[in-house]
């Protein structure tokens, strides 16, 4: 387990803008930054990043937090693994204390699989460079393909020996369990007890996640064998879902952001050759049709995508369906058809970055125009086929969420297809109306993006549900009937818990006594035998009150970097502010900051909480009295009525105090 001093160094070093920018394209908006949320299908920026508070938050789905919370949620890591990720990013040495047996047992299968994959990548690379077979077969193949050694090392390419169980034997000798070797797909275990290496005799292409972890492998056989697949890939596992991954995304993400464009190709070698030619904003779908998770992964970094085709007509038509999904997700899609006999790999090897970029710029066309020309050329002279293909193009246009862009494409396609613009528009509207009728009644499209929103919920607005009521796993925690009042007080605890609310001098010891915000709230509640009913809020209040007065304790940092994810999320919700006061108002109006008014605000909201509790108790007693009167049990009614009168007096006094200006007497 990581020691506290290391956690503090990581917390102080991690910059939220820097961390989030590795995964999300951010644009400045006032004092904050905004971008598309990486945690849900966001089509207009809902994700706000605050440099001053060092937090991020999506005001649509609620995701975000401090840098460590963001990494936990984005990379599906636990608290300590997220800290290790940040430590590596900022070159901070991680010092750990010895784990207990119980803590060691908590280590998940997922972590073990990542460890095994990382070992396997190093093993394959070692065989490529240091083993005689690896160098003479694997390394020779890569060099004959034109790959420079720096590219081979950059993409961590390797070689799997042409032996039945070379990897398995070495892995078990190194202490790795057969269970995880099998789960990651590195070996295949048979019922008779035999174990074989899956990738034997193949050059190896590691597949990296967005954060750079090895999640899978692709292996290409070098022998000519019609009975053996040319490429095989790791099977689906807890760490690898093929439909979610894009080959090369880890190496491309920063250049995609910088160029505001992503090139999409088909295979591993296409990506590597384009990198070698100096074009690094490129990813591959690895031979599969594009999926929504892959598209949304690209959309985090840019709205502009250029698809490179090698001129194979059958392959192009098969890929058109995936590109329709790109349009539906609101992306700007361009298409480039490479010269006959060329693919991105071969063309990149024969041209430098400037030549390749010039060719793309001169030959790229928007996807709708490309598809229209392609399909109409196939239907020449056949009216029935032509009508079917025109309907196909119209369905593509109907997928575009932006109404203005749809109208422009309708006008252009009307000319290309020699069909009246009104007829095309009517057909598109018919498709849109049919789609709307099929949509569930509980939702409606957002007027800006066409994205489905729950009925009655305004886009980009935070949910009215209190943040602690909905943890990350979707299950609800115990809710308090005084949720709003407890949240109001907890907000002071998280934001200002360590602040001195007031101080006085002890007459006997002549010592200055400081009363901190969190301690004041808890002691005021305890005096009236009260506390928060929401167990999460109570725990946070107790922890803040306990640490108040300690050197370097800052409540907001403490909770944002809490190892319990729900605590960090709640703290983020209470700290976040989507809107900032404009410079105009700050210049011409005297602005009173909340932190300067704590002496008035905290006691006021404490009285509000107590008033809510009294009102609830009065209502409960009234309900109980009514029940007893119906049964005729008047002996129990009288003491209840007396208690009710006493509570009404307290309520009256509380209301009077709430209505007045509150000043604490020292």
Residues 101 and 114 in one domain: no
Task: Concatenate the DSSP letters of all residues of 426-479 into one string.
Answer: HHHHHHHHHHHHHS-TTEEE-TTT--EEETT--TT---SS-GGGS-TTS---PP
The answer to whether 351 and 359 have CB atoms below 8 angstroms apart is yes
Alpha carbon separation from 542 to 135, 525, 539, 566 (Å, rounded): 62, 12, 5, 16
Residues 427 and 541 in one domain: no
Residues 540 and 645 in one domain: yes
Of the pLDDT bands very low, low, confident and very high (cuts 50, 70, 90), residue 290 is confident
Closest CA to 397 of 384, 386, 407, 385: 407
CA–CA dist 332, 334 (Å, integer): 7
Quickly count: other Cβ atoms within 10 Å of residue 195's Cβ: 17
CA–CA dist 332, 634 (Å, integer): 76
Q: What is the pLDDT of residue 15?
A: 94
Residues 221 and 293 in one domain: no
CA–CA dist 612, 609 (Å, integer): 5
Residues 397 and 281 in one domain: yes
CA–CA dist 165, 180 (Å, integer): 15
- Please give the structure tokens belonging to residue 616: 């609830």
The answer to whether 215 and 239 have CB atoms below 8 angstroms apart is yes
| Cα–chain center distance at 64 | 8
State how many domains the chain has. 4
Of the pLDDT bands very low, low, confident and very high (cuts 50, 70, 90), residue 211 is confident
The answer to whether 158 and 127 have CB atoms below 8 angstroms apart is yes
The answer to whether 289 and 319 have CB atoms below 8 angstroms apart is yes
Listed residues 89, 106, 123: the one ending a domain: 106
State the burial class of residue 662 (Cβ atoms within 10 Å of its Cβ: 0-12, 13-18, 19+).
middle
CA–CA dist 109, 241 (Å, integer): 16
Pairing of strands 262-265, 304-309: parallel
pTM score > 0.75 for this model? Answer: no
Listed residues 82, 106, 130: the one ending a domain: 106
Listed residues 106, 128, 144: the one ending a domain: 106
Quickly count: other Cβ atoms within 10 Å of residue 314's Cβ: 7
Tell me: the pLDDT tens digits for 428-459? 988 888 877 665 543 444 333 333 333 323 33
Q: What is the pLDDT of residue 173?
A: 95
CA–CA dist 64, 569 (Å, integer): 7
CATH code, domain carrying 406: 3.40.1360.10
Closest CA to 344 of 294, 401, 271, 286: 271
Residues 269 and 394 in one domain: yes
Residue 589 pLDDT more than 70? no
- Please give the structure tokens belonging to residue 307: 């698809």
CATH code, domain carrying 59: 3.90.580.10
Residues 191 and 162 in one domain: yes
Of the pLDDT bands very low, low, confident and very high (cuts 50, 70, 90), residue 138 is very high
The answer to whether 146 and 273 have CB atoms below 8 angstroms apart is yes
Mean pLDDT in the chain? 83
Alpha carbon separation from 62 to 56, 467, 580 (Å, rounded): 10, 8, 18
The more confidently predicted of residues 357 and 153 is 153
Residue 140 pLDDT more than 90? yes
State the burial class of residue 380 (Cβ atoms within 10 Å of its Cβ: 0-12, 13-18, 19+).
exposed
264 phi, psi to nearest 5 deg = -115, 125
Q: What is the pLDDT of residue 340?
A: 82
Of the pLDDT bands very low, low, confident and very high (cuts 50, 70, 90), residue 130 is very high
Q: What is the pLDDT of residue 285?
A: 87
Is residue 286 included in any domain, yes or no?
Answer: yes
Q: Could you give the dihedral angle defined by the CA atoms of residues 114, 117, 119 and 121, in that order, rounded to the nearest 10 degrees?
A: -140
The mean pLDDT of 116-125, rounded to a whole number, is 97
Helix (H) or strand (E) holding 316: helix 313-328
The mean pLDDT of 253-268, rounded to a whole number, is 89
Residues 85 and 157 in one domain: no
Tell me: the pLDDT tens digits for 309-361? 876 655 566 567 667 888 888 889 998 988 888 889 999 998 888 899 899 99
Residue 126 pLDDT more than 90? yes
Helix axes 517-527, 483-496, angle to 10 degrees: 150
Quickly count: other Cβ atoms within 10 Å of residue 406's Cβ: 20
CA–CA dist 537, 518 (Å, integer): 12
- Please give the structure tokens belonging to residue 314: 């059958």
Residue 178 pLDDT more than 80? yes
Residues 102 and 115 in one domain: no
Lowest mean pLDDT among 239-248, 316-325, 518-527: 316-325
Is residue 9 included in any domain, yes or no?
Answer: yes
Residues 336 and 432 in one domain: yes
Residues 296 and 218 in one domain: no
CATH code, domain carrying 200: 3.90.980.10
Tell me: the pLDDT tens digits for 600-652? 899 888 888 888 888 888 888 888 888 777 777 777 777 878 777 777 777 77
CA–CA dist 626, 618 (Å, integer): 12
Alpha carbon separation from 186 to 180, 229, 317, 362 (Å, rounded): 9, 16, 34, 44
Lowest mean pLDDT among 152-166, 216-230, 249-263, 425-439: 425-439
Is residue 294 included in any domain, yes or no?
Answer: yes
Task: Rank 38-47, 139-148, 447-456, 521-530 by mean pLDDT and report only the highest.
Answer: 139-148
The more confidently predicted of residues 205 and 100 is 205
Is residue 358 included in any domain, yes or no?
Answer: yes
CA–CA dist 322, 264 (Å, integer): 12
Q: What is the pLDDT of residue 159?
A: 98
Percent of the chain whose pLDDT exceeds 70: 85
Of the pLDDT bands very low, low, confident and very high (cuts 50, 70, 90), residue 418 is confident
Residues 515 and 620 in one domain: yes
The mean pLDDT of 179-195, rounded to a whole number, is 94
Of the pLDDT bands very low, low, confident and very high (cuts 50, 70, 90), residue 460 is very low
Is residue 338 included in any domain, yes or no?
Answer: yes
CA–CA dist 51, 72 (Å, integer): 19
Is residue 469 included in any domain, yes or no?
Answer: no
Is residue 268 included in any domain, yes or no?
Answer: yes
CA–CA dist 332, 367 (Å, integer): 9
Could you list the residue range(s) of the whole structural domain that residue 647 is in? 482-666
Lowest mean pLDDT among 43-57, 457-471, 567-581: 457-471
Burial 277-303 (b: 16+ CB within 10 A, else e): bebbbbbbbbeeebbbebbbbbbbbbb
The Cα angle at residue 458 between residues 457 and 459, in degrees rounded to 5? 115
Is residue 473 included in any domain, yes or no?
Answer: no
Tell me: the pLDDT tens digits for 486-499? 999 999 999 999 99
CA–CA dist 417, 219 (Å, integer): 45
């Amino acid at each position: 387990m990581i020691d506290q001093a290391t956690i503090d160094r990581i917390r102080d070093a991690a910059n939220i803008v820097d961390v989030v920018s590795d995964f999300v394209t951010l644009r400045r908006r006032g004092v904050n930054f905004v971008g598309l949320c990486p945690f849900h299908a966001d089509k207009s920026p809902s994700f706000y990043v605050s440099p001053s508070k060092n937090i991020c938050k999506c005001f649509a789905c609620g995701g975000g937090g401090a840098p460590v919370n963001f990494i936990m949620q984005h990379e599906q890591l636990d608290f300590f693994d997220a800290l290790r990720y940040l430590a590596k990013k900022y070159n901070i040495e991680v010092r750990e204390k010895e784990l207990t047996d119980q803590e060691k047992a908590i280590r998940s299968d997922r972590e073990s699989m990542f460890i095994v994959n990382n070992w396997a990548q190093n093993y394959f690379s070692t065989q490529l460079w240091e083993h005689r077979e690896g160098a003479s077969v694997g390394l020779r193949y890569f060099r004959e393909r034109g790959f420079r050694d720096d590219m081979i090392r950059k993409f961590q390419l390797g070689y799997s020996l042409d032996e039945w169980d070379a990897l398995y034997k070495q892995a078990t000798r190194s202490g790795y369990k057969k269970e995880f070797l099998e789960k990651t797909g590195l070996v295949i275990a048979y019922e008779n007890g035999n174990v074989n290496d899956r990738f034997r005799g193949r050059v190896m292409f590691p597949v990296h996640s967005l954060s750079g972890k090895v999640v899978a492998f692709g292996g290409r056989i070098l022998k000519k064998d019609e009975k053996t697949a040319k490429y095989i890939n790791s099977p689906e596992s807890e760490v690898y879902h093929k439909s979610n991954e894009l080959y090369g995304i880890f190496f491309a993400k920063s250049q995609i952001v910088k160029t505001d464009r992503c090139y999409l190709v088909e295979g591993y070698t296409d990506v590597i050759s384009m990198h070698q030619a100096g074009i690094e904003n490129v990813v591959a779908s690895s031979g599969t049709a594009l999926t929504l998770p892959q598209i949304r992964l690209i959309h985090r970094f840019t709205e502009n995508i250029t698809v490179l085709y090698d001129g194979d007509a059958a392959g192009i038509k098969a890929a058109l369906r995936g590109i329709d999904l790109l349009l539906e997700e609101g992306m700007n899609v361009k298409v480039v058809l490479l010269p006959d006999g060329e693919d991105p790999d071969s063309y990149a090897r024969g041209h430098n970055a400037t030549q390749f970029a010039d060719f793309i710029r001169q030959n790229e066309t928007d996807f709708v125009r490309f598809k229209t020309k392609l399909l109409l050329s196939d239907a020449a002279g056949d009216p029935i086929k032509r009508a079917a293909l025109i309907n196909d193009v119209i369905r593509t246009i109907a997928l575009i969420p932006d109404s203005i862009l749809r109208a422009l494409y309708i006008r252009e396609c009307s000319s290309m297809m020699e069909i009246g613009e009104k007829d095309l528009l009517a057909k598109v509207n018919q498709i849109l109306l049919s789609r709307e009728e099929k949509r569930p009644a509980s939702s409606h499209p957002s007027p800006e993006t066409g994205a489905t929103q729950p009925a009655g919920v305004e886009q980009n607005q935070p949910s009215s549900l209190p943040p602690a009521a909905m943890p990350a796993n979707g299950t609800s925690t115990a809710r308090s009937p005084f949720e709003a009042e407890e949240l109001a007080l907890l907000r002071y605890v998280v934001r200002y818990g360590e602040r001195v609310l007031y101080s006085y001098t002890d007459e006997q010891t002549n010592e200055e006594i400081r009363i901190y915000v969190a301690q004041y709230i808890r002691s005021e509640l305890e005096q009236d035998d009260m506390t928060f009913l929401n167990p999460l809020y109570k725990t946070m209040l107790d922890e803040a009150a306990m640490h108040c007065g300690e050197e370097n304790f800052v409540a907001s940092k403490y909770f944002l970097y809490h190892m319990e994810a729900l605590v960090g999320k709640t703290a983020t919700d209470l700290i976040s502010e989507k809107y900032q006061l404009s410079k105009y108002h700050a210049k011409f109006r005297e602005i009173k900051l909340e932190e300067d008014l704590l002496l008035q605000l905290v006691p006021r909201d404490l009285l509000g909480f107590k008033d809510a509790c009294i009102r609830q108790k009065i209502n409960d007693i009234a309900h109980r009295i009514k029940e007893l009167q119906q049964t005729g049990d008047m002996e129990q009614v009288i003491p209840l009525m007396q208690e009710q009168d006493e509570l009404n007096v307290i309520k009256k006094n509380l209301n009077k105090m709430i209505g007045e200006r509150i000043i604490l007497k020292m």
